[in-house]
Structure formats: structure tokens, C-alpha cells
Structure 1
């Protein structure tokens, strides 16, 4: 049922993220901040083991003025993505949008919150439902809210 490496594998995901960053950079941000109905964000975390800054490009199925919702799917892998483990240990993050950066606090959605958000998440990108079926783990939904 589950997999190791998800759909693309760890190396494939890293290459895809690098290409994505390159597209944003070489187009001056004209391309790459949206994939279909999803906006793209760059999430800045602190490494849980190293304490060093880490950056990940992610799609956000829900982006509202008071919160951004991320899905720690890792393509249906049986392991949580490193960015998720980092923000569990260090929940103060910075989220870059096309319009600029915003300091936020990240937290895992409660089961009730996830149940409420999941239909909107899968409406924005039905692949998340496939990822959940591929893995034995419960895929976390992350809510990032502005620091007060």
C-alpha cells in the first residue's frame, strides 16, 4: 500500500523544486507562483537537527488573508516531509508569496479542522486524495497563521 519516496522519489522532488525556483527567478516572478488553481509559496523553516535555515517550495490549496493551508503529502510517501518535521519542532516560519514575505506560526490542523478543510483541499487538487490512499500514514494538514 505505502511507498518510500512517493510518486517521484526524494531526488525527483528535489529536482522538481529546483526547476520551479529557477523558473520563478529567470522570469522575474511572472511564472511559477501559480500551478493551476493552486498558489505556490516558499516556506522557510529551521532544520530540526541542524538549526540551519531550510527552504521548500510548496503548493497551497487554500490561501486566505488570515491563513495559508499546506498539505504534508510528500506525494503519498510513508514518511512525513522534512519541512513538516522541521515546523513541528520550530513552528515560527516565514512564507514567501508572489507579493512578498510574511512571518507566520505553523501548526498541524486538528482532526476536526482537517475534516472541514479536506473537501476544499481536494477540490483545489484532487491528487491529494490519491496520495492519502497511497500511504499508511495520516497526511497532516498544516495551518499557517500570521504572527500577532
Structure 2
């Protein structure tokens, strides 16, 4: 029997990841937001939010559903692109236009995005690891470091 350190992460096929994303968004849209968002249940589970940012090229509002957890007043997510290489479009948009809005199960709020660095990144990465099996193994499949994105409340 392999030990935990011997396990290697395996991503599902890209077509499956895309299908899951499309199905989640369709369910959210068809139910007009009644299904598709949830709050983190406890320290071992993440929630989902709808992030709306300004497109870096189009200037139009672009929305995506993302996993998150709360860190005090901040929301924390990973720019992981389904564990594939490359940065997700929503993260590229936020780097260009960091002001955005998020819709949570309990309402909307205005946020400003930034990348976590140093000790803060290590702490938040560890907290993600409590919510996701094999986080480090999945991250190792990417050729670049996965950004830990902090969404701070803005007034």
C-alpha cells in the first residue's frame, strides 16, 4: 500500500474540468442564483462565490464562479486555472483592474484584489491545504507558482 508521501496527484481530463465549469455556471444561471453559491461550512470546507471583474481587453464585466474561504474580513481564492498551466483569465483581469464585486450566498460586496506574498501566502496556502487533499501535489503539476489571491473589502 503506498504511503501518503508516495501519492501523486492526477488531474481529470481538461474536457471534464471545462464541462464541470459550464454545468456549474448553467445551474447558477438557470436557477437565477438560488443554486450554485454556498458558504464555507467549517475550517475543512470552502465555499463558492461569483466574482465579477472588468475585462482587461474588452472593458466589459466578466463573471466567474470560484472557491473561497474567509480570512477575517477578506476572502481568499487560488488562481489555479483548474490546475492547468497558465493564469486564469479572471486573475489576469484582476491584475489589470483590481476593483471587483463578489456575490456570496448572503449578498454582494465590493472588493479589491491583491496577491498574498511571503509569510501571509504561506499561512493562507496552509489553510487551503486543510480544505483540499493533495494541494501541494496538484500545484506541483503546474509549471508556475499558483497565486493566492486576497479579496479585501472596499468602501
**Corresponding position of 2:49:** 41
Across the aligned residues of Structure 1 and Structure 2, the Cα RMSD in angstroms comes to: 2.3
Tell me the TM-score normalised to structure 1 length. Answer: 0.82
| Cα separation, partners in 2 of 1:47 and 1:27, compared to 1, 3 Å | closer
**Which whole-Å deviations, capped at 9, do the CAs of 1:25-64 have from their partners, x for residues lacking one?**
455655432388221000101111111110001111x224
**Corresponding position of 2:59:** 51
Is this contact kept in 2: 1:72–1:81, CA < 8 A? Answer: yes
**Which whole-Å deviations, capped at 9, do the CAs of 1:45-99 have from their partners, x for residues lacking one?**
1111111110001111x22451100100112222010100000000001011011
For the pair 1:144 / 2:151, whether they are aligned, the reply is yes
CA distance in 2, matches of 1:146, 1:129: 28
| Cα separation, partners in 2 of 1:80 and 1:7, compared to 1, 3 Å | farther
Is this contact kept in 1: 2:100–2:112, CA < 8 A? Answer: yes
Is this contact kept in 1: 2:53–2:99, CA < 8 A? Answer: yes
| Cα separation, partners in 2 of 1:21 and 1:78, compared to 1, 3 Å | closer
Greater relative contact order: 1 or 2 (C-alpha under 8 angstroms, separation 6 or more)? 1
Matched ranges for 1:73-92 at <5 A: 73-92=80-99
| Cα separation, partners in 2 of 1:103 and 1:16, compared to 1, 3 Å | same
Q: Which runs of 5+ in 2 are unaligned?
A: 1-10
| Cα separation, partners in 2 of 1:49 and 1:73, compared to 1, 3 Å | same
Is this contact kept in 2: 1:76–1:130, CA < 8 A? Answer: no
Is this contact kept in 1: 2:83–2:138, CA < 8 A? Answer: yes
